[in-house]
């Protein structure tokens, strides 16, 4: 009898745990976007939420919680109950902030668990038409002749646009001054008006301005030429080792059950591989990223190391 009771004691917790995992999600799931409305994270999170709702027959709802360079919304998720009902939509701003903002109230790989990646987009390196550079090499030559005279715009410290510029400066060995703005639209306007000479910006947004002659495109920032701009060289074709993209992913609070993480990963990967989703995103210059939780974990750690080395070597700080 004692053996039977002991066996039941061991098995019963598992029996009680199984229905909870099997029934997830039982209520709406929140996708917290710690960036402003209308940005890439917000836009793609809403696409993901729509298809996840269809896939799981449960509502996935996007909530924008911007502020403090993504800290406010991210900290909210870090402190949420780890039950799979509050998730973080994050980007490489988060991997940059691990080094750039060491005093933030959370640590990415300590307080969160990776769930799945979403997609990745190249940036476009553009200059105002008044800049007498028709290629990446010509811009480098111009910058070396006028150290500290040329500027580049970004949507703020730690953003992919900022770090794309800092990586360029480091690898090309040029002195170009960073001019941060409150939002990417403000930075874009500065380049279009000629107030600032150069910027790295999202292809879907900036390509229309390039085609209209308001800016001149010099290159894309991915490892390979972008399918939307096959005739435009990558920056890396001139600056060896250069690659800087915007990518998005999903993380959950530390302690979220593995079966819930696996469930979410499976369905997110299924959504981003749907033909209609892939086709729509590719037209926008976004490439779906399919990764398991373990693969995304390795991806995150590598990205943290990459940007951490740059931030330390270039002595980049937030003013």
Per-residue pLDDT of the chain in tens (319 residues, 90 and over written 9): 555 444 444 544 444 444 445 689 999 999 999 988 878 899 999 999 999 999 999 999 999 998 887 899 999 999 999 999 999 999 999 999 999 999 999 999 999 999 999 999 999 999 999 999 999 999 999 999 999 999 999 988 888 899 999 999 999 999 999 999 877 888 999 999 999 999 999 887 788 899 999 999 999 999 999 988 999 999 999 999 999 999 999 999 999 999 999 999 999 999 999 999 999 998 888 999 999 999 999 999 999 999 999 899 888 887 5
Under CATH, which architecture does the 122-237 domain have? 3-Layer(aba) Sandwich (3.40)
Q: 3-class DSSP state for residue 83?
A: coil
Q: How far apart are CA 311 and CA 319, in angstroms?
A: 14
Dihedral angle over CA of 204, 232, 291, 253, nearest 10: -50
- Half-sphere exposure in the Cβ direction for 66 (13 Å, CA): 9
Query: Could you say which DSSP state residue 50 is in?
Result: H
Q: Do the first three CATH levels of 26-120+246-313 and 122-237 match, i.e. the same topology?
A: yes
| Statement: 26-120+246-313 belongs to CATH 3.30.70.360 | no
Residue among 265, 287, 250, 268 nearest 51 (CA): 268
For the chain, which residues make up each domain, given as ranges?
Answer: 26-120+246-313, 122-237
Instruction: Look up the pTM and report it.
Output: 0.82
């Amino acid at each position: 009898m004692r053996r039977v009771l002991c066996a039941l004691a061991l098995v019963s917790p598992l029996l009680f745990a199984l229905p909870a995992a099997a029934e997830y999600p039982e209520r709406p799931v929140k996708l917290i976007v710690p960036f402003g409305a209308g940005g890439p994270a917000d836009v793609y999170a809403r696409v993901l939420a729509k298809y996840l709702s269809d896939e799981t027959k449960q509502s996935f709802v996007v909530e924008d919680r911007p502020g403090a360079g993504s800290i406010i919304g991210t900290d909210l998720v870090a402190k949420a109950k780890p039950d799979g009902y509050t998730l973080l939509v994050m980007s490489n701003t988060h991997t940059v902030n691990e080094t750039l903002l060491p005093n933030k109230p959370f640590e990415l790989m300590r307080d969160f668990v990776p769930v799945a990646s979403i997609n990745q987009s190249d940036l476009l390196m553009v200059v105002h038409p008044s800049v007498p550079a028709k290629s990446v090499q010509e811009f480098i030559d111009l910058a070396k002749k006028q150290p500290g005279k040329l500027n580049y715009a970004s949507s703020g410290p730690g953003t992919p646009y900022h770090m794309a510029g800092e990586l360029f400066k480091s690898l090309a060995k040029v002195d170009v001054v960073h001019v941060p703005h409150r939002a990417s639209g403000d930075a874009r306007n500065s380049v279009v008006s000629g107030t600032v000479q150069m910027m790295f910006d999202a292809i879907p947004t900036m390509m229309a301005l390039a085609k209209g002659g308001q800016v001149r495109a010099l290159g894309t920032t991915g490892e390979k030429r972008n399918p939307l701009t096959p005739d435009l060289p990558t920056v890396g074709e001139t600056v060896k080792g250069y690659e800087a993209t915007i990518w998005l992913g999903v993380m959950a609070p530390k302690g979220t059950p593995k079966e819930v993480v696996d469930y979410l990963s499976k369905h997110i990967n299924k959504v981003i591989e749907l033909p209609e989703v892939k086709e729509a995103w590719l037209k926008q210059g976004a490439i779906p990223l399919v990764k398991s939780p373990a693969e995304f974990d390795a991806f995150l750690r590598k990205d943290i190391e990459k940007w951490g080395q740059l931030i330390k070597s270039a002595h980049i700080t937030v003013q």
